[in-house]
Amino acid sequence: MFDRLDSLSDELLAAYLDGNTTPEENLKIWQVLQHDGQEREAFEVACNSLDIPVFFAASSCRNLCVIRSELAVLQKRGKEVTEEELIQIALKQHWYEEEKGTPLKYIGKLVESFGLKVERRFCREINELFRELEQGHDVIACVDGGELSGNLEQEEFEDRWIGEIPDHVVLVRNIDYSEPPRVEVYDVAMEEPVRYYPLDCFIDSWKDSKYYMISIK
């Protein structure tokens, strides 16, 4: 007999959505969701009542992935600034919350404050991103971090029953269309930040943000 839905606390559900649950806790949640349709519906209602960071980028690396990505861009452009200075600017301007991260609409605000031109948009195809790279622009893509480096089975389950959650950003450095095509990214959450992912894997994780891109000229 599976555990009933009321055995899942708000804290456990929030931890699951943030990717901070154990394999045993994941199994418990999946069993409850798969038990019957009524419980799945109740679960979705419960999730909607939580303060879930669906529109926040950064449930990893201490919620600093946006700030650290923008720091990498600024340092590449020769700007002398530290991570702590950017954190204080973002906190003062309400662009960043320590417990959640950075809302999508505020990504790029830090580099803008240093005089760089930023364009934000939802793309229709990967070639829009590729054209920005060809022009020498820096590109930040909002993705589902778990779909790039996590448990794919769990992420597919999450997309189906909970919704698509863009919880991370990466700097896109190159798209290689040779066989097999792949994307090179700079991921500040990784110990070795330069990563390569199959193109279809990257597109699938990017899709969770409706293909949201920040281009820095």
Q: What is the pLDDT of residues 98-141, one digit of tens each?
A: 877 888 889 999 999 999 999 999 998 899 999 999 999 999 99
Using CA atoms, how far residue 66 sits from 14, 22, 49, 149, 185, in Å, is 21, 26, 26, 18, 14
User: Which pLDDT value is given to residue 52?
Assistant: 37
What average pLDDT does the chain have? 79
Rounded distance between C-alpha atoms, residue 188 and residue 166, angstroms: 16
User: Which pLDDT value is given to residue 17?
Assistant: 57
pLDDT tens string 25-64: 666 766 666 654 555 555 555 554 444 343 455 545 567 8
User: Which pLDDT value is given to residue 147?
Assistant: 78
All domains of the chain in start order, with CATH? 1-52 (no CATH), 53-216 (3.90.70.10)
